[in-house]
A = this chain, B = another copy of it.
Amino acid sequence: MTKAARNLQKPAPANRVSDATLRGFVGYNLKRAFNVMRADLSRVLQPFGLRMLTYTALVLIVDNPGARQAQLADAMDMERPNMVDIIDQLERLGLIVRDRVPTDRRAYALNPTDKGRRVYAQAVEAVTRHETLLTSKLDETTRRMVISALRQIEIDHTEGTG
């Protein structure tokens, strides 16, 4: 029996599940698009031994040498404890170092290594290609408008909370 023939035998309402109710929400479409993006990004970052968050942290450290973990956690909008493993991994990969801050012996100044800067350049390039594919159906104006709208969603909430 062909797949089409099989489908015809299935009960009508169960034949194809409709998500029409949910499709009207930005939140639902946001979740779906995010999932697609994350799965694809993971694949792109795998050759570098990176995942989404270690990639993000590496970019922030190269762009902001000397930043502390708490500042990084703040910038990534996450809790401090979750930074520890991320920084551990980047250090183990030899991409960054934890330098002691002489004026505050509680803190670490996070700095990229030469290797870290090289991997940064390669990874950003790979992610840029990934982004191009991801948004291939959007013209530049739409792409910018989406970025702007997503930021509005984020900022809006941040204002209301803290």
Contacts and interface: CB of A to CB of B under 8 A. Distances in A.
Interface of A: 11, 13-14, 16-38, 40-41, 52, 56, 59-60, 63-68, 71-72, 74-75, 77, 109, 124, 127-128, 130-131, 133-138, 142-143, 145-147, 149-158, 160
Contacts of A63: 18-21
B14 A153 contact: no
A149 B28 CA distance: 13
A35 B77 contact: yes
A59 B157 contact: no
**Copies of this chain in its oligomeric complex:** 2
Contact of A14 (B30, B71, B77, B156): B71
A133 B25 CA distance: 12
B137 A14 contact: no
Contacts of A128: 25
A70 to B, nearest CB: 10
A26 B147 contact: yes
Given A13-B66, A17-B60, A153 B25 contact: no
A28 B77 CA distance: 12
B26 A134 contact: yes
A21 B134 CA distance: 18
A30 B37 contact: yes
A124 B21 contact: yes
B26 A34 contact: no
